[in-house]
């Protein structure tokens, strides 16, 4: 089958839905293909455990962007979501960037379409525009500086006090940064479908049942949930806190994938996922979890689906991402 036909299948399905021989050792095959093609596998903490275990690098959004920028590999296989692949391509355009399932998007990125965001910016002239990395390349191109959950406070503090700020697209992270910096920011009204779902009532009950447990939360959670937290941080921040804190039990309000790394780093400790406000598995990100071992294998084998961007868009989006990386480096992040 030719590449044009494969592209057609991806357009229809989002990925190459070929049958994979069930007798194949996918771990060995993926390792072989990575070596043969000089590919690096970057994975976010929200990936399924098997994918995390074979990654060359696992990290949060900032760590992944930094790795993507400096990799010498020819191919970046990104076990994450679409905006992460775009960021990798923007930072390192000479590399082939591939994503196992093109449908792996992000509710937060979707909440801030560039056309609407442009109107919002025009309504607030003379504001510095800071956008969370969870947005499209088009939205990044309209921004002055990008941030992630691990450097957002440093990025906001880098803006002179007299300047007004627009912060997009996550209103919860925005409110959290306001509480940390005292800055008055205009917020875009976006949320993450995973982090807005936690039940305050169930968390309170769980805390009563486990009085010794530390409650740790990602800043994308609702303010009332964050108020209960003993520690608030990015995925890497939460992981480091759980490893270094002397507590033996942790209630974790973020996507469940991170618990795999927490348990690996602190085998004797107990990690309890914070409950969502209904009985679904809503604290599993449906986008992140679209990447499976089978799709990863097919993606590496056929080097598809590939992420590409028009060069003028890439150049525009590069500037605010570079600014973020410079400020992060100044702060040792
Ligand atoms: P971090 O990786 O920066 O913690 O962000 C979490 C997230 O929701 C990524 O999509
Ligand atoms: Fe987007 Fe939330 Fe999924 Fe992260 S966890 S990719 S912010 S929907």
Annotate 223-265 with three-state secondary structure.
Answer: HHHHHCCCEECCHHHHHHHHHHCCCCEEEEECCCCHHHHHHHH
Residues 8, 279: Cα–Cα separation, whole Å: 37
Percent with pLDDT over 90 in the chain: 96
**Does residue 280 lie in a domain region?**
no
**Does residue 35 lie in a domain region?**
yes
Residues 177 and 124 in one domain: yes
C-alpha 47 – ligand 2 centre gap (Å)? 11
Residues 180 and 319 in one domain: yes
| pLDDT-based confidence at residue 253 (cuts at 50, 70, 90) | very high
pLDDT tens sequence across 65-83: 999 999 999 999 999 999 9
Ligand 1 pocket test, candidate residues 61, 81, 132, most atoms within 8 A of CB: 61
Task: Compute CA distances 273 → 37, 80, 245, 296, whole Å.
Answer: 38, 21, 18, 26
**Does residue 279 lie in a domain region?**
no
Ligand 2 binding pocket (C-beta < 6 A) is 46, 81, 106-108, 134, 192-194, 255, 285, 287-288
Residues 282, 262: Cα–Cα separation, whole Å: 20
Nearest bound ligand to the CA of residue 81: 2
- Phi, psi (5° rounding) for residue 68? -60, -40
Q: Which domain holds residue 157?
A: 108-192+315-330
Q: Report pTM.
A: 0.96
Residues 187 and 267 in one domain: no
87 with 321: CB under 8 angstroms?
A: yes
| pLDDT-based confidence at residue 280 (cuts at 50, 70, 90) | confident
Q: Which of 183, 256, 170, 184 is nearest to 219 (CA)?
A: 170
Contacts of 116 (CB under 8 A, 6+ apart): none
Query: Mean pLDDT throughout 9-27?
Result: 95
What's the domain count of the chain? Answer: 3
Atom of ligand 2 at shortest range from CA of 285: 3
C-alpha 285 – ligand 2 centre gap (Å)? 6
Structure letter (DSSP) for residue 213: P
Residues 20 and 77 in one domain: yes
85 with 257: CB under 8 angstroms?
A: no
């Amino acid at each position: 089958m030719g590449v044009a036909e494969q592209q057609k299948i991806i357009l229809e399905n989002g990925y190459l839905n070929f049958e994979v021989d069930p007798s194949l050792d996918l771990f060995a095959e993926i390792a072989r293909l990575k070596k043969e093609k000089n590919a690096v596998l970057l994975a976010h903490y929200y990936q399924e455990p098997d994918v995390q275990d074979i990654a060359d690098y696992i990290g949060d959004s900032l760590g992944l962007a930094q790795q993507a920028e400096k990799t010498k590999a020819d191919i970046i296989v990104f076990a994450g979501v679409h905006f992460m692949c775009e960021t990798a391509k923007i930072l390192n355009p000479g590399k082939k960037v591939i994503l196992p399932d093109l449908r792996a998007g992000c509710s937060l990125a979707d909440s801030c379409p560039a056309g609407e965001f442009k109107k919002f910016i025009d309504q607030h002239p003379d504001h510095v525009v800071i956008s969370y990395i969870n947005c499209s390349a088009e939205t990044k191109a309209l921004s002055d500086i990008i941030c992630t959950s691990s450097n957002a406070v440093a990025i906001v503090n880098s803006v002179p006090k007299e300047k007004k700020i627009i912060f997009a697209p996550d209103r919860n992270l925005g409110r959290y940064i306001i509480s940390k910096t005292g800055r008055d920011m205009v917020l875009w009204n976006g949320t993450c479908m995973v982090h807005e779902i936690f039940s305050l009532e169930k968390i309170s009950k769980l805390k009563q049942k486990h009085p010794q447990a530390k409650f740790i939360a990602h800043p994308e959670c609702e303010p009332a949930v964050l108020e209960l937290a003993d520690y608030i941080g990015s995925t890497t921040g939460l992981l480091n806190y759980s490893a270094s804190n002397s507590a033996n039990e942790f209630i974790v309000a973020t996507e469940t994938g991170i618990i795999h790394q927490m348990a690996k780093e602190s085998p004797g400790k107990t990690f309890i996922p914070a409950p969502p406000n209904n009985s679904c598995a809503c604290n599993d990100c449906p986008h992140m979890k679209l990447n499976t071992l089978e799709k990863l294998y097919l993606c590496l084998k056929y080097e598809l689906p590939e992420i590409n961007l028009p060069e003028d868009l890439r150049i525009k989006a590069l500037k605010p991402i570079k600014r973020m990386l410079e400020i992060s480096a100044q702060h040792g992040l």
